[in-house]
């Protein structure tokens, strides 16, 4: 594909490695060809780098498919998922999973970005409703900032919550930022 067709979210093959375009800049100097500067993220390691191209250059776009997978269990350092349609099982390493493991619940469905049979990325639901298993104690006192306390959720994740949250409450949590959104119901 021509470099002018690349946009944020495009998947490219650069030197045999798949990358996602996270950001791009277009610059038209007074003389010469236009310059396209991309910030790309390695889909294997998550490392980012800057790549520069000129108008007229071509790049290799890759085909990524999204497949719904059901989380089954953790086996050693790997997480086992099953394709919801073919019942084929895939393992994802702890390194590739990153800190997203703290949101996994047995039986939940996630969307996996795949290149052939290789898992490139795991997309969790943006919001989840989870039960508070344990909460800390909020420190009382005059403060300028909003008071919070730690709460352990049913998946094992620990987030900061307002002082009125108690054990047994069901919370809506943003998995992208690991933050409390609202209390869904309370016991």
What pLDDT is attached to residue 77? 87
**76 pLDDT exceeds 80?**
yes
Partners of 26 in the β-ladder: 36
Domains with residue ranges and CATH for the chain: 3-61 (2.30.30.30), 65-123 (2.40.50.140), 127-185 (2.40.50.140)
Q: What b-and-e string marks burial along 147-158, b requiring 16 or more CB atoms within 10 Å of the CB? A: ebeebbbebebe
Give me the phi and psi of 134, to 5 degrees please.
Answer: -155, 140
Mean pLDDT of 115-126: 82
What pLDDT is attached to residue 145? 66
What pLDDT is attached to residue 115? 83
Mean pLDDT of 73-89: 88
The H-assigned helical ranges of the chain are: 94-97
């Amino acid at each position: 594909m021509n470099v002018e067709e690349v946009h944020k979210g495009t998947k490219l093959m650069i030197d045999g490695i798949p990358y996602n375009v996270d950001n791009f800049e277009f610059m038209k100097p007074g003389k010469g060809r236009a310059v396209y500067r991309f910030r790309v993220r390695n889909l294997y390691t998550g490392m980012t780098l800057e790549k520069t191209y000129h108008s007229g250059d071509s790049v290799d776009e890759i085909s990524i498919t999204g497949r719904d997978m059901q989380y089954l269990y953790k086996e050693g350092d790997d997480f086992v998922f099953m394709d919801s349609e073919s019942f084929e099982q895939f393992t994802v390493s702890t390194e590739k999973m990153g800190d997203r493991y703290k949101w996994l619940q047995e039986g939940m469905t996630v969307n996996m970005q795949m290149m052939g049979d290789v898992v490139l990325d795991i997309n969790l639901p943006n919001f989840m409703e989870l039960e508070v298993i344990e909460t800390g104690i909020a420190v009382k006192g005059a403060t300028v900032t909003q008071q919070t306390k730690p709460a352990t959720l049913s998946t094992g994740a620990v987030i900061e919550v307002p002082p009125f949250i108690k054990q047994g409450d069901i919370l809506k949590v943003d998995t992208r930022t690991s933050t409390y959104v609202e209390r869904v119901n309370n016991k």
